[in-house]
Amino acid sequence: MKPILEIKDLHVHFYTYAGVVKAIAGVSFTVYEGETFALVGETGCGKSVTSRAITRLIESPGRIVKGSVIYHTKDGRKIDLLKLPEAELRAIRGKEIAYIFQDPTAALDPLYTSGYQVAEAMVVHRTVRSWKDGIKRAIEILRSVLIPDPEKRVKAYPHELSGGMKQRVVIGTSLSNRPRVLIADEPTTALDVTIQAQILKLIESLKRRHNATVMLITHNMGVVAEIADRVAVMYAGKIVEIGNVFQIFKNPQHPYTKGLLKAVPNPLIKVEKLESIPGTVPNLINPPPGCRFHPRCPFVMDVCRVEEPPMVEVEPGHQVACWLYTKR
Ligand code: SF4
């Protein structure tokens, strides 16, 4: 497997009046070409911030304070996106690395037609020669994302489209330049349950057709089981476990991953009360020392309260950061 993105020791801080929020604290992982890599965890664990930091989309008061994001280009070069001049990064962002954001209503501009917005991505990156060509391509793209009657919908404004259709337009915009990496940040959260499965299937089939790599950001373990190849579990700004989808679902090792999976309702098993992880996510202005999960962990030991556990391999391709698996 060839790496396409290598995120190394990433740190992102937010400078607020209440103090410095250490939102991402030393996140490292590799995404390989052609795979669907899922980043999962509770709301506020840092998944979206990590995905946005990849192409420096962190807005003030946030700042990337440390780390590197190595992008492997098609012609075999390795470039650190965090050090690239803004103009060069802009040529990659939206063209080679594209995003599908959570809320299609917020992602689309209400003043422009869907066709204009799909065409604009191609005109800006000069993958079409003119606006006329862009609109022609936009009709084809809307058809490929299964929008009925694309010749008519290309002239529709966002308020004239349903939620599912708006998300299809957003996906079309993201795919218009045939990106090598597609970062989908909770792409189905704002949609009805009936539409969610259709959108996931669409992302999967487009990924195969364009031979793209997908990085999926989600808190929904059902979605992960459905389409991911490999999974990284995040807690309080850190990766606590990485493995392939079978290792994570069949043989989870980290107490937090086990808790997350137990909290997923199983329609085949009747239970009085759903399991939950006791306690709340820590305040990242003053995160707990040692293992950030220790105040909620049923297996906590003395070492967990003072020293951060290193990431260790428990089986080929399966890594976990927990003192239960490491000799101090
Ligand atoms: Fe629990 Fe300690 Fe493992 Fe953290 S390092 S998950 S506190 S056992």
Model confidence pLDDT, tens digit, residues 123-153 = 988 888 899 999 999 999 998 888 889 999 9
CB of residue 161 inside a 6 A radius of ligand 1: no
CATH number of the domain that 311 lies in? 3.40.50.300
Domain presence at residue 171: no
Please choose, from the candidates 292, 281, 284, 291, the residue with its C-alpha nearest in 3D space to the C-alpha of residue 15. 284
Across the chain, mean pLDDT equals: 90
- Per-residue DSSP letter, 160: G
CB of residue 323 inside a 6 A radius of ligand 1: yes
Instruction: Specify the residue with its C-alpha closest to ligand 1, atom 3.
Output: 322
Is the pLDDT reported for residue 40 higher than 80? Answer: yes
With vertex at residue 245, the alpha carbon angle to CA 240 and CA 250, rounded to the nearest 5 degrees, is 85
Domain presence at residue 216: yes
Note the pTM of the prediction, 2 decimals: 0.90
Across 84-93, 184-193, 281-290, least confident range: 184-193
Task: Point out the ligand 1 atom lying closest to the alpha carbon of residue 299.
Answer: 8
Q: What is the distance in A from the centroid of ligand 1 to the CA of 47?
A: 21
- Can you give the pLDDT at residue 201? 81
Domain presence at residue 133: no
Domain presence at residue 126: no
CB of residue 182 inside a 6 A radius of ligand 1: no
Render pLDDT for 78-124 as a digit per residue (tens, 0 to 9): 999 999 999 999 999 989 999 988 788 888 999 999 999 999 989 98
Instruction: Specify the residue with its C-alpha closest to ligand 1, atom 5.
Output: 322
Domain count for the chain: 1
Supply the range of the domain harboring residue 315. Answer: 3-96+177-327
Domain presence at residue 142: no
- Can you give the pLDDT at residue 271? 67
Task: Residue count of the chain, please give it.
Answer: 328
Domain presence at residue 137: no
Domain presence at residue 37: yes
Domain presence at residue 256: yes
Please choose, from the candidates 98, 89, 94, the residue with its C-alpha nearest in 3D space to the C-alpha of residue 207. 98
260 backbone dihedrals φ, ψ, rounded to 5°: -60, -45
CB of residue 294 inside a 6 A radius of ligand 1: yes
Q: What is the distance in A from the centroid of ligand 1 to the CA of 281?
A: 15
